[in-house]
């Protein structure tokens, strides 16, 4: 679990520096940094998608996963969790929610908090390094992959927090639960997941990263990327089914 703790700490440290010193950066610089992260995430998403050996599996996984995500309202629930943290943070900080600010100002602040929480949670959770790193950390105590991921997440959280605010810090809660959960199931998962299943899971995660880059980072088109998260489970299940039926 050491790798998970390192990852959480780097997010908190990077996010804190982003909040403390981000205001001193001109808006155009913050926008450029976030845009640079968006382009990088876009490139990583393409790279991950190229791992696929059967793009139809990725397509079906996204369609089925998207339908399940809309049915379960995953993104709305994630946003609701962000709103809960926001309200709790406001009370803890002694902020009067009924102050003289108009509704528009409060709504903009809320949406900024939720956007920071949601974007950073998805970016930090999705990817083969999170899954493989957690499995290695849980099984053998080798946390090299998670350390590399932690360094990347630390810089990303600094940039996110400088632009999106304190919501980025609260994403560390999701990261902690997510990575610890994978590590605890690592022994069972390692025995069940084949290389082909991991390839399609990675490719599907790449498409989700593309959605995050286009929607939240580059702000090209709104996409409810969170609702596609079930696709990460659907993809390896399809491969397992095809392997059982001798079609793969």
Model confidence pLDDT, tens digit, residues 45-96 = 899 899 999 999 999 999 999 999 999 998 888 888 777 776 766 555 554 5
53's enclosing H/E stretch is: none
pLDDT surpassing 70 at residue 102: no
Of 166, 173, 163, nearest to 90 (Cα)?
Answer: 166
Domain boundaries, the chain: 2-244
Distance of CA 105 to the CA centre of its chain: 27
Model confidence pLDDT, tens digit, residues 195-213 = 898 889 889 988 998 988 8
**Helix, coil or strand: residue 107:** helix
- pLDDT band at 248; cut points 50, 70, 90: low
Model confidence pLDDT, tens digit, residues 172-196 = 988 999 888 888 887 677 678 788 9
pLDDT surpassing 90 at residue 108: no
The residue that leads in pLDDT, 111 or 116, is: 116
With contact defined as beta carbons under 8 Å apart, do 206 and 59 qualify? Answer: no
With contact defined as beta carbons under 8 Å apart, do 161 and 79 qualify? Answer: no
With contact defined as beta carbons under 8 Å apart, do 84 and 114 qualify? Answer: no
Separation in Å, CA 247 to CA 63, 197, 202, 223, 243 = 21, 13, 20, 33, 6
The whole-angstrom separation of Cα 51 and Cα 202 is: 7
Q: What is the pTM of this model?
A: 0.77
């Amino acid at each position: 679990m050491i790798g998970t703790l390192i990852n959480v700490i780097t997010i908190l440290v990077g996010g804190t520096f982003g909040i403390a010193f981000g205001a001193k950066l001109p808006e155009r610089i913050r926008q450029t940094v976030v845009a640079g992260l968006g382009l990088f995430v876009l490139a990583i998403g393409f790279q991950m998608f190229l791992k696929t050996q059967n793009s139809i599996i990725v397509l079906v996984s996204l369609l089925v996963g998207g339908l399940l995500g809309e049915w379960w309202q995953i993104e709305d629930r994630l946003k609701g969790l962000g709103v809960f943290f926001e309200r709790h943070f406001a009370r803890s900080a002694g902020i009067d929610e009924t102050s003289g600010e108009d509704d528009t100002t409060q709504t903009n602040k809320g949406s900024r908090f939720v956007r920071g929480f949601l974007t950073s949670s998805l970016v930090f959770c999705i990817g083969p390094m999170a899954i493989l790193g957690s499995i290695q950390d849980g099984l053998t105590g080798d946390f090299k992959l998670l350390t590399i991921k932690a360094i990347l997440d630390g810089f990303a959280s600094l940039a996110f927090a400088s632009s999106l605010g304190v919501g980025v810090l609260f994403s560390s809660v999701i990261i902690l639960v997510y990575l610890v959960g994978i590590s605890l199931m690592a022994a069972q998962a390692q025995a069940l997941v084949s290389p082909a299943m991991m390839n399609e899971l990675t490719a599907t995660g790449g498409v989700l990263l593309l959605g995050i880059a286009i929607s939240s980072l580059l702000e090209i088109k709104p996409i409810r990327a969170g609702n596609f998260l079930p696709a990460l489970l659907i993809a390896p299940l399809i491969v397992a089914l095809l392997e059982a039926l001798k079609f793969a």
